[in-house]
Structure 1
């Protein structure tokens, strides 16, 4: 696509956003009930779908087909116009789709990809109480029984499980094999008997994360993705969906709404008429954060382009994840500091926003989520050291 064509596409997306992004969505989604949140997310997803913007990264035959430059423009404009995030559909659109396209059968793709476009919601059932950062240590078991499998175990930190129709599930099918070689990957219908979902009450008052208890749950044989015992390799396709454009979208949102709320907090006058921005130290820190955000956006775009070209390094995604998550903490921490006591009284935020809502205390508490899942910051640094810089591996014992 030429630069002129891309400018035309940007104009189309910009016009669509002006006409369709709900002007009052932040107000209506603040304090929304679960049914109101689910209804809003479904309606917003279908608006994006009708415009051809819901799954731009999917193959054309499944409703996508946008070029990489077009996808970058789309996410930039959605962020610039403060569009709601697809919170509810995120796992389905990215993780489930990536898994099905890379390792699923034709029947699995035919069954689920159109259903996702119609609103099917997915949850990721990977982490366990004793297998968070060390995912391969999971203990949920799946034993072969006739024409299917019987699964027993527990999952935790399952985001949005209370809304989900289906689950991407890792379970151990060979208890004696080395831990990465005895895992299988399943598609689990969340309406199956024997499943119990318990939302976890968080410090923010939300219940975004959940526990999933599995008690002798049957999964048909056609729910297996890839070969039996080869689930670890399939899971890498799932986790790979967190790279590239998903990080670019988050970076663009931090650089648009996030920085805009931060600037407004610094410009707001206190009862005595003083603005935080008039303090040289505050102005200096604000400028430094703006530079960091600019660098993050450039880094994300570079990763996306090199990943598309097949020349991304083995630790590049870890660099971006580490940089984003810790910069998000610095931005929200500064917003909380500048907001003062008033920031601590804002105890609700829009349910369809990300971690840049301007409710600084809630955003700051939520920002810590990003330094833990998907590999903690410590694990990311190890990956960068060993795979990116070629440093010796850490000793495993004496």
Structure 2
């Protein structure tokens, strides 16, 4: 794509944002109930879809087709214009779609992809109480009965499960096989008898995560994705959706809305008339964070443009983003003082940075745990990226 074509596309996106991004969405989405949040997310998804911006990473025949360069521009402009994030459809348009494109049948794609574009919501049933970072240790079972599977077990940390229509589910179909070889991958209708969802109230007051209890849940064999016992391989396609362009979008939002909130906070005069940024240490910290943000955005842009990324590149991006998010929100909570400690509401459709600094800081710890903890990311970087000796295995 030439510079002229890219800038023409950027001008189109800017004009669309100017006329479509609701200026007061943060205020209207603060403190709302679940029904209002869901309705807003569905409306905003429909707005983006009508413009061709909701699923730019999908193939053109399914409503996407934007080039990598165009996707970069799109996410840069959405972040610069402080557009709401697609929080609720995230698993649907990234994890579910990438799984269906890579390993689903034609029938599964024809059934679910149009439904996702119409507002179908998905959640992910991977983690369990005893299988978080070590996902291969899952114990939820799926027993073959005629042309169905009967599933029993429990899933944990299922984002948005309280609103989901369908679930990407991993279950063990061969308990005798090695851990990664006896797992199968299913599409589970959340309205199936035996499915119970319990929201988990978090320290921030939100209930974004849920537990899913499965009691003799019957899943048709046609909802199996990929071959039986090959679910671990299929799951890698799902997890791959968390990397690349989704990280670039998050980095752009942190560099735009997040940093603007921080600069504004440091520029406010206190009761004594002084501003935090007049303090040399605060000004130095702001400069350091801006430098780190510039590096993060450049790293993400280089990563998505690389057709052959290194084996540890995704871990480097994830580790850099999550720990920078933590440092930045920690600094915001410090500078905000007492007033920042009592602001306990945030916009439901914001990103991980909302300006409610204590809630943002508490929420930032989520990013150093799911999708592989920071310790696991460092292990991957050391072993796969730097070629260091593998970590010793504990034997019983």
Residue 392 of structure 2 is matched in structure 1 by 395
Q: Deviations over 1:135-184 (max 9, x none)?
A: 00000000000111000000000000000000000000000100000000
Q: Deviations over 1:101-125 (max 9, x none)?
A: 0000000000000000000000000
Q: Find the aligned partners of 2:253 and 2:184 in 1 and give their Cα distance.
A: 36
Gaps of 5+ in 2: none
The reply on whether 1:326 has 2:334 as its aligned counterpart is no
Q: Deviations over 1:174-202 (max 9, x none)?
A: 00100000000000000000000000011
Shift in Å, 1:397: 3.6
Q: Find the aligned partners of 1:153 and 1:56 in 2 and give their Cα distance.
A: 36
Residue 337 of structure 2 is matched in structure 1 by 340
Residue 297 of structure 2 is matched in structure 1 by 297
Q: Find the aligned partners of 1:396 and 1:53 in 2 and give their Cα distance.
A: 46
With normalisation by structure 1, the TM-score equals 0.99
Q: Find the aligned partners of 1:377 and 1:393 in 2 and give their Cα distance.
A: 17
Q: Secondary structure at the match of 1:187?
A: strand
The reply on whether 1:363 has 2:360 as its aligned counterpart is yes
Residue 84 of structure 1 is matched in structure 2 by 84
Q: Find the aligned partners of 1:397 and 1:43 in 2 and give their Cα distance.
A: 50
Q: Find the aligned partners of 1:295 and 1:397 in 2 and give their Cα distance.
A: 37
Q: 2:311 aligns with which of 307, 311, 314?
A: 314
Shift in Å, 1:2: 1.2
Shift in Å, 1:329: 0.3
Q: Find the aligned partners of 1:355 and 1:56 in 2 and give their Cα distance.
A: 22
Q: Secondary structure at the match of 2:187?
A: strand
Residue 376 of structure 1 is matched in structure 2 by 373
The reply on whether 1:264 has 2:264 as its aligned counterpart is yes
Q: Aligned ranges for residues 106-125 of structure 1 at < 5 Å?
A: 106-125=106-125
Q: Aligned ranges for residues 1-398 of structure 1 at < 5 Å?
A: 1-306=1-306, 309=307, 311-397=308-394
* Matched positions, count: 395
Q: Secondary structure at the match of 1:144?
A: strand
Q: Deviations over 1:312-350 (max 9, x none)?
A: 000000000000000000000000000001001100000
Shift in Å, 1:396: 1.2
Q: Find the aligned partners of 1:356 and 1:298 in 2 and give their Cα distance.
A: 19
Q: Find the aligned partners of 2:267 and 2:96 in 1 and give their Cα distance.
A: 43
Q: Find the aligned partners of 2:259 and 2:294 in 1 and give their Cα distance.
A: 11
CA shift in 2, pair 1:197/1:397, >3 Å: closer
Q: Find the aligned partners of 1:365 and 1:46 in 2 and give their Cα distance.
A: 31
Shift in Å, 1:49: 0.3
Gaps of 5+ in 1: none
Q: Find the aligned partners of 1:396 and 1:237 in 2 and give their Cα distance.
A: 26
Q: Find the aligned partners of 2:184 and 2:392 in 1 and give their Cα distance.
A: 29
Shift in Å, 1:133: 0.3
Q: Find the aligned partners of 1:169 and 1:102 in 2 and give their Cα distance.
A: 16
Q: Find the aligned partners of 2:64 and 2:351 in 1 and give their Cα distance.
A: 24
Q: Find the aligned partners of 1:203 and 1:66 in 2 and give their Cα distance.
A: 39
Q: Find the aligned partners of 2:59 and 2:229 in 1 and give their Cα distance.
A: 28
Q: Secondary structure at the match of 1:344?
A: helix
Q: Find the aligned partners of 1:396 and 1:51 in 2 and give their Cα distance.
A: 51
Q: Secondary structure at the match of 2:53?
A: coil
